[in-house]
Amino acid sequence: MTSIVLGLLGGLALFLYGMQMMSSGLEAAAGNRMKSILERLTSNRVLGVLVGAGITAVIQSSSATTVMVVGFVNSGMMTLRQAVWIIMGANIGTTITGQLIALDVGALAPLFAFVGVAMVVFLKRPQIHHYGNILAGLGVLFIGMEMMSASMSPLREWPAFVDLVSTFSNPLVGILAGAAFTALIQSSSASVGILQALAVSGVIGLDNAVFVLFGQNIGTCITAVLASVGTSRNAKRTTVIHLLFNLIGTALFTLICILTPLTGWMQELTPTNPAAQIANMHTLFNVVTALLLLPLGGLLVKVAMKILPDRSESGEEGMHLAYLLPGPVHTKQEHPIGFSAMYTTQLRKELNRMLLMARDNIVVGFQAVLERDPKRLETAVATEDYIDYLNKEISQYISKVMVRETNEKDSTAVSAYFKITGNIERIGDHAMNICEYTQMMHEKNIHFSEDARNELKSMQAVCLETMDLLEQEDIQKTEWLTKVSAMEQRIDDMTESYRRHQMERMRRGVCSDEACIIFSELLTDFERIGDHALNIAQERASIDDGAANT
């Protein structure tokens, strides 16, 4: 018994490791291209299903695709309706692993592994290493499959295990067993592979295996459910749709298998290949379910919204991150494919939110000075505290991402975002400085001349025009950076001009000493806002379009 357990565990370890090697190699080799396909996805349902199936077939993990979709919906890169089609396709694409196993190419597994390892060890180009990992992973996967099959062969002679497997003829028991085991190892491909190994060993027949197989489709949803913890309402609804798809398919096929001789027909197709029987049933399950639900995608969205209706945002009171929500960045797990596209989009949206707060405080600061209203200080302090909070949280998020990011373009984008958040925080500080001058003006009854007030209004207008430029989403980088640079130069010219005007007012005795000191400090803050705005524009312009989708 010990040798059986050890053989099974060793085979499972190799199987899972092989899948992980393949997925990592594919992510490194073609990840950005696959992300680009998904980001540009239209609302065409057939295209969505095909894209979901294609990407899942390549990375051999419906869980990875669904986690990616949850992240895209959460970050606003994809609508809930688009997610439906991707999920349907992902369920079809995940059947490719079982079909590969059914082809019985295990004899070539050592060759795949050797060629892949040789490419990694003896060749120098990083791109070749990625393809080597894919080949080596495929070989290791099949070696693990062979180990599992060999280790489980003696189980068919073990009465206790045969009795246990016979209970799977009860549909409910089989479904629960399949769902529980798949939820435990978080890979339907691996659990289906183990089921195929059992079938090849003669331990379980298709009559009993089908119900376990249907349960495995339900169990694979657990990964997406875990990934949706702490995400937006729509992201959670994505996991509900994934679960609904598999529950409906399981209910439908359980009835078909009970009421019709479908299982017998599948056995007759490949009577000597039990692994192919399971693979074909798995493919049939997902293809038929997708075809039946394809016209009902909108209904699935409505059902998901009924199950998880919109709720009051009272839980969002106080300081919080609106877009950077818990996900793979907080775990030690490998990032799912598409993660870079997720976090760059989320970072950009969170930074735009922070930029709007800084803009608001510029308005409050100048208005407070113009109206000599210290009551505005309370509002400014609250906003400044929020900006500081966002700066801290975003910086911590970025520091975690930078440790894990291996793609050079995405690393450049992350580094730029880190500098941008610091510059936004400094703009907030200068806006706060402007507002705080009001306290002294009120306490000491300091007034500005009409000329100085007009200059303050011009300073406010130019600051807001500059901030509005920074908030623009769709930009032609060269032209946009030129505009921001021109605004920064205009701020410098205005600062120099207003300092001369201030000196003239001092000579004429129009401006008091204390008013001159405050106005001089205001000019310094005004000029610094322009400097930090230009820093933000330069960093944003340095971000590669493919990496950041900016």
| Residue 24 neighbours by CB under 8 Å, 6+ apart | 133, 137, 334
Mean pLDDT over 15-31 rounds to 67
Measured CA angle at 41 (ends 35, 42), to 5 deg: 175
Helices marked H in 308-375 — which ranges? 339-371
Integer Cα distance of 326 and 230 in angstroms: 6
Question: pLDDT value at position 354?
Answer: 94
Stretch(es) of the chain classified as CATH 1.20.58.220: 328-548
Integer Cα distance of 19 and 143 in angstroms: 12
State yes or no: pLDDT of 407 exceeds 60.
no
Helix, strand, coil shares, percent, the chain, to 5: 85, 0, 15
**Helices 62-75 and 2-39 sit at what angle, rounded to 10 degrees?**
40
Predicted TM-score (pTM) of the model is 0.62
Question: pLDDT value at position 108?
Answer: 73
For residue 51 the two structure tokens come to 């894209």
Question: pLDDT value at position 182?
Answer: 80
Class of domain 328-548: mainly alpha
State yes or no: pLDDT of 549 exceeds 80.
no
Integer Cα distance of 21 and 90 in angstroms: 20
Question: pLDDT value at position 80?
Answer: 77
Question: pLDDT value at position 77?
Answer: 66
Highest-scoring range by mean pLDDT, 103-107, 122-126, 332-336, 460-464: 460-464
Integer Cα distance of 347 and 67 in angstroms: 18
| Per-residue pLDDT reduced to its tens digit, 412-456 | 788 899 999 999 999 999 999 999 999 888 888 888 989 999 999
DSSP 82: H
Mean pLDDT over 461-469 rounds to 95
Integer Cα distance of 238 and 85 in angstroms: 11
Cβ(215)–Cβ(177) below 8 Å: yes
Mean pLDDT over 242-270 rounds to 89
State yes or no: pLDDT of 39 exceeds 70.
no
Higher-scoring residue by pLDDT: 167, 267: 267
State yes or no: pLDDT of 383 exceeds 70.
yes
Which of 442, 446, 492 shows the shortest CA–CA distance to 466?
492
Question: pLDDT value at position 366?
Answer: 95
| Type of residue at 331 | T
State yes or no: pLDDT of 254 exceeds 80.
yes
Burial state string for 417-439 with b = 16 or more CB within 10 A and e = fewer than 16: bbbbbbbbbbbbbbbbbbbbbbe
Torsion of CA 394, 395, 401, 406, to 10 degrees: 130
CA distances from 216 to 18, 173, 193, 247, 528 (A): 20, 12, 11, 11, 60
Highest-scoring range by mean pLDDT, 126-130, 204-208, 530-534: 530-534
Measured CA angle at 94 (ends 90, 97), to 5 deg: 160
Where residue 333 falls among pLDDT bands split at 50, 70, 90?
A: very low
Question: pLDDT value at position 89?
Answer: 84
**Helices 233-259 and 171-185 sit at what angle, rounded to 10 degrees?**
140
Question: pLDDT value at position 351?
Answer: 92
Integer Cα distance of 331 and 71 in angstroms: 15
